[in-house]
Copies of this chain bind each other. A is one copy, B any other.
Amino acid sequence: MNNKVLIVGAGAIGGFYGGLLAKAGADVSVVCRSDYAIVKQQGYRIESHALGSWQFMPNQVLRQASEYQGQPDYLILCTKVTPDIDRVALIRDAVTPHTTIVLIQNGVEIEQEIQLAFPDNLLISGLAFICCNRLAPGEISHLAYGKLILGNLSEIDEPKTQYLRDLFLRAGIECLVSADIVASRWQKCVWNAPFNPLSVLSGGLATQAILQNQENFVRRVMQEVCTIAEACGHPLPANIVENHIALTRDMPPYKTSMLLDFERGHTMETEAILGNAVRAAQRQGVDCPCLQSLYVLMQLRELQIRSNSLLN
């Protein structure tokens, strides 16, 4: 039995997936900082269009990983990936030799830092395709989607990865194990790389308006990401750009996660999504001028936000 799960970063996404694992019978605890008081008292209330509503009462509700009682089988890290979050420090005190570390996080090339810090632990890299919001402390609204893709960086079939997938499936959410999770990350980046920064830099346009007005540019940025992925040894399906465009056209007008972070004054995942992609391109000698332009502009935008907040 691999039943003890610790979620670190239990906001909307961490709380939602933790709640699913608890539904599936796992012993789930959470480290949550901003909503600690409420969650400690009454757990999470999860409202899902697809899966109904339920109460999720974590076994342990903690302020930090060091307070965890026991040895987690899975430590699932669900924070954003931003320069102001030290992911290794956040989880170090709860990682035991047999703990499997699971990342449910955005971006490309975000695994190395964790691998280097915990070279002997099994690492599962995971991607969430989900639309869910925190309505209030401890209140999560799951609006749409929810699919998880999990994978190991080695190409070995890992029983602990299969087991985790089965827990998620039992809870009623789509979950699959990818033989090339790194390629899956690049595939997601193909969408994120244009739409996330364009939504912020345009001053708040939704995906529909961006696509309707600048489809050629969106396609070019997407194609640059495909070229980088291929240069990194992870060629993407030939139809990926076409598929992403078609899917976006069929989506309702959508605010990207980066735009939501921007509007809330939160740090954005510029480095995890754009910075890491551009650095990979530079390492491989690939030119990606449009992606680079977006990265440059996001860095200047963030510089301006920081200098504004210093003035206030």
Residues of A within 8 A of B (CB): 198, 201-205, 209-210, 213-214, 217, 220, 289-290, 292-294, 296-297, 299-301, 303-305, 307-308
A300-B220 contact in complex given A289-B290, A289-B293, A292-B290, C-beta closer than 8 Å: no
Complex formed: what's the CA distance from A288 to B220 in Å?
A: 13
CA distance A303 to B214 in the complex (A): 11
16 contacts between A and B (CB under 8 A): A201-B300, A202-B297, A202-B300, A203-B308, A205-B300, A209-B303, A210-B300, A214-B296, A217-B293, A217-B296, A289-B289, A289-B293, A290-B290, A290-B292, A290-B293, A297-B297
Residues of chain B with a CB closer than 8 A to A209's CB? 300, 303-304, 307
Contacting pair A202 B293 (CB below 8 A): no
Contact B290 A213 (CB under 8 A): no
A194 to B201, CA, bound (A): 16
Counted per complex, copies of this chain come to: 2
Residues of B within 8 A of A203 (CB): 300-301, 304-305, 308
A214–B292 CB distance below 8 A: no
Contact residues in B for A307 (Cβ distance below 8 Å): 205, 209
B217–A304 touching, CB < 8 Å: no
Which of A201, A294, A296 gathers most chain B CB within 10 Å?
A296
Q: Choose among B202, B210, B214, B300 the residue that contacts A198 (Cβ–Cβ < 8 A).
A: B300
The smallest beta-carbon distance between A199 and chain B, in angstroms, is 9
Find the B residue at minimum CB distance from A216: B296
Complex contacts, A296 vs chain B, CB 8 Å: 214, 217
A213 touches B299 (CB 8 A): yes
CB of A214 within 8 A of CB of B289, answer no
Task: Determine which of B205, B289, B303 lies in contact with A220 in the assembled complex, contact meaning CB atoms within 8 Å.
Answer: B289
B contact residues around A289 at 8 Å (CB): 220, 289-290, 293
How far is A59 from B213 in the complex, measured between Cα atoms in Å?
48
Q: A205-B300, A205-B303, A290-B293 known; 9 other A-B pairs, CB under 8 Å? A: A201-B300, A202-B303, A202-B304, A203-B301, A204-B304, A209-B300, A209-B303, A209-B307, A289-B290
Report which residue of A205, A214, A220, A297 has the largest number of chain B beta carbons within 10 angstroms of its beta carbon.
A297
A198–B203 Cα distance when bound, in Å, is 14
A3 to B214, CA, bound (A): 49
Considering only CB atoms, which chain B residue lies closest to A199 in the complex?
B300
- Give A201 to B305 CA distance when docked, in angstroms: 12
A304 and B220 within 8 A (CB): no
A254 shortest CB reach to chain B, Å: 15
Which 6 interchain pairs have the tightest Cβ spacing?
A293-B293, A289-B289, A202-B300, A203-B304, A217-B296, A202-B304
Cβ contacts under 8 Å, A198 to chain B: 297, 300
